[in-house]
Amino acid sequence: MKTKFTTDTKLESEIAYFENIDLKLESGDILSGFKLAFKTYGKLNTDKTNAILVCHALTGDQYVAGNNPITGREGWWSRMVGPNKPIDTNKFFVICSNVLGGCAGSTGPKELQNGSDVAYGGNFPSVTIKDMVKAQSLLIESLNIEKLFSVIGGSMGAMQALQWAIDFPDKILNIIHIAGALKHSAQNIAFHEVGRQAIMSDPIWKNGKYFENNEVPERGLSVARMIAHITYLSENAMHRKFGRKLQSRDIISFGFDADFQVESYLRYQGKSFVERFDANSYLYLTRAMDYFDHDETFRKNIEFSHNPNNHLKYLIISFTSDWLFPTIESKMIVNQLNSLSREVSFLEIDTDKGHDSFLLEEPQLDDVIKGFLTNNFAKIDE
Amino acid sequence: MNKINSIRKDWSLIETLIAQDRKILDIGCGDGGLMEQLENNRNAITHGIELNRDLAANAIARGFNVINGNAELDLSQYSNNSFDYVILSQTLQAMMKPKDILSELLRIGSKAIVSFPNFGHWKIRLQLLISGKMPVTESLPYTWYDTPNIHFFTIKDFLNLCNEMNIVIEKSIGLTSKGKQFDISESINGVNFFTHEAIFLLSYKNFEPIKIKSSKKVFAKNSVIAN
């Protein structure tokens, strides 16, 4: 298999083309040829032992650190990844690729179908977390990296990290799994469904063909983002941040303007999201998360894997105020790994910032990730 | 002996009870001090449980396999005989159900190491006798209304419980309040009086397999042995 690499100057991103490959998806569909947009940070050492794959969450992208040309802002985890940061790019070679089905340069509903000048839209095949990871593993292979030192991710990124441990344990040494679960819960599917319904009931969506008239179902997509954003916070965090404070006014309007700061904030979140994210991608990726379910199979997969996985180390982290992926979900993973005598560490971090904590200022998260990586890397370096 | 020194002393004695290259679970592992010592000196594979979030975070950041959790709730997740040794240092008296914990230790470990302050020590007896108030000492420094130590017991109590649970005491080390070390099993007279702290290496009694008389000599060969 020959992979072609180019640099997209507009996207400020590397693109890997897998042209002569039929990627068999979990659904049974076949994706004939695909591309992944990715970024790397730091240098691969001569023994190729210092590579770390960072997996992004639902609305993330390959721009972990540095400038993100799509938003014009800093990368989504620039407080975690960089020189002398907890994931230290002076020491590690960090790779992050936009997931399959995404909208930042990788093959997804926004991209043109093979050999045509029409975008996939709703014709894009259903992708799962397993498919995303399969595509990532081909990327890692084409970068000539036999073994990743670590796979790290939060939320949907944590799902990918767990999938790596299940599907390619021989290609990794450890995973850091933050704010994730063995399965997407009924409540989480429900919130995603409301978001999808918001998009699909926007008249501009047109069965996913809005791009034909150069339109975007802005209303639907922004409402989907507003709902989702609530689930990423916690009641305490919202109260601390906004309370009942009014926005640019002294008295309530007795109308439906954004009287309250929290309303104004959500509207802003929705509006800015529309500018950077594709509505169809949002449908596909939320679905991929919904389909994620290792509740019954995880223990069996780890115990009876034909790929040796005894060497794997797991760091599982949850947050006290995360009600989307609560601690109990993380503990289920920990319990099952412990029952198999695997090397697992678990920490519940005390914070009121909710599910989004992994993206925010949490000194204990920084310390634990930095220490875990540094000390475990020192052990293989001996 | 101050608290830190007493813990260090405890650790070095625990180390003497542990063979090379074994798999160990340290319950209440703190920031991983004992795990580090056993990895360095005994080439042990270590796991730990720590209730305190900050200590657990420190231990994980130092590269140890540590679960931030509660021993009374979280031991059930481990399979039978997952470890060669399970260590419970200075915390049995703080457990809600010490008897259940003891049986859990020996379910998940082939051997258990338990250390605790002896409530039968003469200073404690004297304090209670003379002042008529709950004793406060160096090893049990808390007032009765604000103590993590909710189940006080003496060496005699512990030995009785072990006997009742068919637990064998393989080795036992006693320490006087001056830090003098002796073998508890060999010095019966006054041991419950002079022992300040005690460390026990425990295992379950091994019962001889019952031999079934059968006319069929091939009985064992015909049975399926599930491993």
Residue of A nearest to B64 (CA): A345
Residue after which a domain boundary falls, among A224, A254, A287: A287
Token representation of residue B59: 């231990």
> Domain check: are A21 and A106 in the same one?
yes
Contact call for A344 and B53, based on CB within 8 A: no
Distances (CA, A) of A44 to A2, A49, A51, A97, A376: 21, 8, 6, 16, 17
Residue B227 resides in a domain: no
A362 CB neighbours in chain B (<8 A) are: none
B110 CB neighbours in chain A (<8 A) are: none
Nearest to B55 by CA among A362, A321, A367: A367
Question: What pLDDT is recorded for position B6?
Answer: 72
Residue after which a domain boundary falls, among A287, A317, A342: A287
A345 in contact with B, Cβ within 8 Å? yes
Burial B124-151 (b: 16+ CB within 10 A, else e): beebeeeeeeebeeebbeeeeeeeebee
A372 in contact with B, Cβ within 8 Å? yes
pLDDT digits over A322-375, tens only? 999 999 999 999 999 999 999 999 999 999 999 999 999 999 999 999 999 999
> Domain check: are A336 and A281 in the same one?
no
Token representation of residue B74: 């979280």
Residue B141 resides in a domain: yes
Residues of A with catalytic annotation?
A: 155, 322, 355
Q: How confident is the model at residue A89 (pLDDT cuts 50, 70, 90)?
A: very high
Question: What pLDDT is recorded for position B113?
Answer: 98
The minimal CB distance from B66 to the residues A335, A345, A370 is found for A345
> Domain check: are A295 and A282 in the same one?
no
Question: What pLDDT is recorded for position B213?
Answer: 61
Residue A222 lies in domain: 188-287
B33 in contact with A, Cβ within 8 Å? no
> Domain check: are A177 and A301 in the same one?
yes
Helix (H) or strand (E) holding B9: helix B3-16
pLDDT digits over B93-126, tens only? 999 999 999 999 999 999 999 999 999 999 999 9
ipTM of the complex: 0.93
Question: What pLDDT is recorded for position B225?
Answer: 41
Residue of B nearest to A371 (CA): B61
> Domain check: are A23 and A128 in the same one?
yes
B53 in contact with A, Cβ within 8 Å? yes
Token representation of residue A31: 């994706």
> Domain check: are A152 and A300 in the same one?
yes
Q: What percent of chain A has pLDDT over 70?
A: 99
Cα torsion A139, A145, A147, A152: sign: negative
> Does residue B224 have a pLDDT over 50?
no
Residue B209 resides in a domain: yes
Residue B87 lies in domain: 3-222
* Mean pLDDT computed over every residue of chain A: 96
B88 in contact with A, Cβ within 8 Å? no
Query: Which of B36, B68, B75 is the mutation pick for testing A, counting most A CBs within 10 A?
Result: B68
Question: What pLDDT is recorded for position A147?
Answer: 97
pLDDT digits over B155-208, tens only? 999 999 999 999 999 999 999 888 888 888 776 678 888 899 999 999 998 765
Question: What pLDDT is recorded for position A365?
Answer: 98
Question: What pLDDT is recorded for position B206?
Answer: 72
> Domain check: are A318 and A351 in the same one?
yes
The DSSP call for residue B207 is P
Distances (CA, A) of A303 to A93, A276, A293, A296: 31, 42, 17, 13
SS (H, E, C) chain A: CCCEEEEECCCCEEEEEEEEEEEECCCCCEEEEEEEEEEEECCCCCCCCCEEEEECCCCCCCCCCCEECCCCEECCCCCCEECCCCEECCCCEEEEECCCCCCCCCCCCCCECCCCCCECHHHCCCCCHHHHHHHHHHHHHHCCCCCEEEEEEECHHHHHHHHHHHHCHHHEEEEEEECCCCECCHHHHHHHHHHHHHHHCCCCCHHHCHHHHCCCCHHHHHHHHHHHHHHHCCHHHHHHHCCCCECCCCCCCCCCCCCEHHHHHHHHHHHHHHHHCCHHHHHHHHHHHHHCECCCCHHHHHHCCCCCCCCCEEEEEEECCCCCCCHHHHHHHHHHHHHCCCEEEEEEECCCCHHHHHHCCCHHHHHHHHHHHHHHHHHHHC
B152: CB partners within 8 A, 6+ apart: B93, B119, B140
**What's the whole-number mean pLDDT along residues A31-39?**
96
pLDDT digits over B57-99, tens only? 999 999 999 999 999 999 999 999 999 999 999 899 999 999 9
Q: If DSSP codes are grouped into helix, strand and coil, which group holds residue B146?
A: helix
pLDDT digits over A278-335, tens only? 999 999 999 999 999 999 999 999 999 999 999 999 999 999 999 999 999 999 999 9
Residue of A nearest to B56 (CA): A347
pTM of the model: 0.93
Contact call for A367 and B57, based on CB within 8 A: yes
pLDDT digits over B28-47, tens only? 999 999 999 999 999 999 99
Token representation of residue B28: 């209440």
Q: How confident is the model at residue B7 (pLDDT cuts 50, 70, 90)?
A: confident
β-sheet bridge partners, residue B83: B109
Residue after which a domain boundary falls, among A252, A287, A322: A287
> Domain check: are A157 and A231 in the same one?
no
Q: Which CATH number is A314's domain given?
A: 3.40.50.1820
Contact call for B61 and A343, based on CB within 8 A: no
Question: What pLDDT is recorded for position B223?
Answer: 40
Which residue's structure tokens are 């790019």? A89
What's the total number of domains in chain A?
A: 2
Question: What pLDDT is recorded for position B178?
Answer: 86
B173 in contact with A, Cβ within 8 Å? no
Q: Which CATH number is B201's domain given?
A: 3.40.50.150
The minimal CB distance from B63 to the residues A338, A341, A379 is found for A379
> Domain check: are A270 and A312 in the same one?
no
Cα-Cα end-to-end distance for chain B: 49
Nearest to B108 by CA among B70, B71, B81, B77: B81
Which residue's structure tokens are 């000492």? B137
A195: CB partners within 8 A, 6+ apart: A223, A224, A225, A227, A228, A282, A286
Q: How confident is the model at residue A114 (pLDDT cuts 50, 70, 90)?
A: confident
Pairing outcome for strands B65-68 and B83-89: unpaired
Q: Are A366 and A86 in contact (CB under 8 A)?
A: yes
**Contacts for A8-15 with beta carbons within 8 Å, 24 or more apart?**
A8/A37, A8/A105, A10/A69, A11/A37, A11/A69, A11/A70, A11/A104, A11/A105, A12/A67, A12/A69, A13/A37, A13/A38, A13/A39, A13/A62, A13/A63, A13/A98, A13/A104, A13/A105, A14/A38, A14/A39, A14/A40, A15/A105
Pairing outcome for strands B197-204 and B167-175: antiparallel
Nearest to A109 by CA among A209, A225, A180, A23: A209
Question: What pLDDT is recorded for position B9?
Answer: 84
A372 CB neighbours in chain B (<8 A) are: 60-61, 63
How many Cα atoms are found within 13 Å in the side-chain-facing hemisphere of A228? 25
**Nearest CA of chain A to the CA of B101: how many Å?**
17
What's the total number of domains in chain B?
A: 1
Token representation of residue B64: 């140890």
Distances (CA, A) of B172 to A357, B114, B154, B181: 48, 10, 14, 10
> Domain check: are A278 and A297 in the same one?
no
Query: Which of A88, A347, A351, A376 is the mutation pick for testing B, counting most B CBs within 10 A?
Result: A347
Contact call for B63 and A348, based on CB within 8 A: no
Q: What percent of chain A has pLDDT over 90?
A: 96
> Does residue A88 have a pLDDT over 70?
yes
Window 300-339 of A: residues touching B by CB (8 A cutoff) are 313, 315, 331, 334-335, 338-339
B64 in contact with A, Cβ within 8 Å? yes
What's phi and psi for B193, nearest 5 deg? -90, -40
Q: If DSSP codes are grouped into helix, strand and coil, which group holds residue B189?
A: coil
